[in-house]
Structure 1
Amino acid sequence: MNSSEQSKVETVRPARKKPVNRKSLILTTIIGALLLLGALILFMCIEKVPQGYQAVIYSVTGVKDETKPAGWHVISPLDKAVHYPIRTQTKEYKNLNVATADGKNLDMDISINYHVDPTKVVKIFNKFGNADIDGLENGFLRTRVLDGLRQSVAKYSVIETFGVKTSEIKKDTLGELQKQLTDQGFIIEDIAISSPKADAATQAAIDERVKANQELERAKTDRAIAEQNAAKKKIEAQGQAEANDILDKSLTDKIIKKQMIDKWEGKQPITIGGEGVIVDVNK
């Protein structure tokens, strides 16, 4: 092998790899793991409270007195949060079974507008634990709403419940719910109650009663009209009688004689005794 061939062989010989620094590799791995762990811990420490909510923070050691408003907050990774709505919420309860004063069972729908008192969220947590708002709506609040509606409807008959007392039932129910729930931390703003739902037999009886009431009201109206017409005729008759009486009293003998003379045209006078001239006053 000559020098030129030996040079070519040397040029194609692969370069020798540098030895790996194991300490640097281990250090890089540790740093990466720590950064990942730090990011994970930081993520666990961040608590987002939605707009319109108030958060109660608690851990195994108990509940924190300080609550968190809407926004982003850094808390201990051992802490947890329960969110309560402090803006208006609407919850509808369907087919609540109630009974009227006369023992009729009805189903009614009711919708409530409410919010949680932000100053009492800790009290709510201490009473109900970490139950979220959905659990409270479907449990505690539903029970209180049903109780308030039942107490209100029980004051009235089935006919009144379907008609003239609907506004009183709403007013009574709203007042009862506010009385029961305000101190518990739930502010009831307003309610809406649907028309009652009755079974076929009850509905038929209600329709019959409504028809009878309508006929009674019609009869009362007809009687009132007749009484008014009779009174009107009586007044007219009294007026005519008084007018005739006044007329009769005003027609003295002298006036009658004068009317006869005024009517006489000077033709064929008729004299009867000493009574003077008699003529036909109808001419």
Structure 2
Amino acid sequence: MFGDVSDEPLPEGLHFLNPLARVVDFNVRFQSATAQKAEGGTADLQEVFEDITVNYEYDPLHAPYVYNNFGDDSDIEAKFIVPALYESFKAVTSKYTAEQLVTQRSAVSAAIVLTLQAKLAKYKIIVSDINVQNFHFDPQFAEAVRAKVVAGQNRLTAEQSLETAKIATEQRVVEAEGNAKAIAIQASAVENQGGQKYIALEAIKKWNGQLPTYMGSNAPLPFISVTDGK
């Protein structure tokens, strides 16, 4: 009948058509749609907004059905896709705190994709992914978050400096204890090997046999040990 839409889409290429038939171009390639300044509220009652873009395509086999029931692709984007994008953003962000939106961005994006896919399923739309650059918050809240991050970084730096100083102190203590033990061991060895006699013997071993060419009146003679022969 006149005015009916064929259930069979025409693939790309050359076709012979009824002179009374009209062909409508329906884009089934990858497309993108953007929700400008999508707004939402977080679980901790902070306002959040962001430009969010979705990449999608239509199931080619269902193009006639979609056109017949919802219009052409440009109409569907304006009437259904963009509004669904706003709704999905608002629904998902309400389940996360502001901090979680920042730290769990991948999980948030995945949740938005699933929510959006469910909303657009009846239009035979396949959602590929979404693009969320940065979540924006109230300026005062953003400054508070920045201050918290800076304070955390400063605290971490201080803890690292304290740990470094602690390790250095422990190393000096270990080194001092090692030196003390070495001195004690040397002293014990000297005592066990004859005390002063051992020291004199070691000095004799290192003497080259030459006396000084000049000696002061009070200078001791080297290596003279007088013992009582009685």
TM-score (norm 1): 0.61
Mean Cα displacement is larger for which, 137-146 or 255-264?
255-264
Change (3 A) 1:120 1:152: same
Q: Which residue of 2 aligns with 1:174?
A: 113
Instruction: Choose 1 or 2 for highest CA Rg.
Output: 1
| Contact map agreement 1:182 1:188 (CA 8 A) in 2 | no
Within 5 Å, give how 1:104-253 maps onto structure 2: 104-125=46-67, 128-129=69-70, 131-161=71-101, 163-178=102-117, 180-181=119-120, 184-198=123-137, 202-252=138-188, 253=191
Q: Deviations over 1:216-238 (max 9, x none)?
A: 22122112221122123213312
Question: Paired residue for 2:11?
Answer: 69
Letter in 2 for 1:145: L
Question: What are structure 2's unaligned runs of at least 5 residues?
Answer: 208-220
Which structure is higher in strand share? 1
Q: 1:237 & 1:160 partners in 2: Cα distance?
A: 45
Q: CA RMSD in A?
A: 3.2
CA contact (8 A) 1:87 1:116 kept: yes
SS in structure 2 at match of 1:156: coil
Looking at both structures, which has the greater relative contact order when contacts are Cα pairs under 8 Å and sequence separation is at least 6? 2
Letter in 2 for 1:174: V
Equivalent residue number for residue 222 of structure 2: 267
In the alignment, which residue of structure 1 is the partner of 2:42?
100
Deviation, 1:118, is: 0.5
Residues 84 and 116 in structure 1, CA contact (< 8 A), matched pair in contact too: no
1:254 maps to 192
Task: Give the deviation of 1:73 after TM superposition.
Answer: 4.8
Runs of 4+ in structure 1 deviating by more than 4 angstroms, as ranges, are: 79-82, 268-272
Q: Percentage identity across aligned positions?
A: 15
Identify unmatched segments of 5+ residues in structure 1: 1-57, 273-283
What secondary structure sits across from 1:251 in the alignment?
helix
Q: CA 1:96–1:269 in 2, change beyond 3 Å: closer, same or farther? A: same
Quick one: structure 1 residues 233 and 267, their matched pair in 2 at CA, closer, same or farther if it must change by over 3 Å?
A: same
What secondary structure sits across from 1:85 in the alignment?
Answer: coil
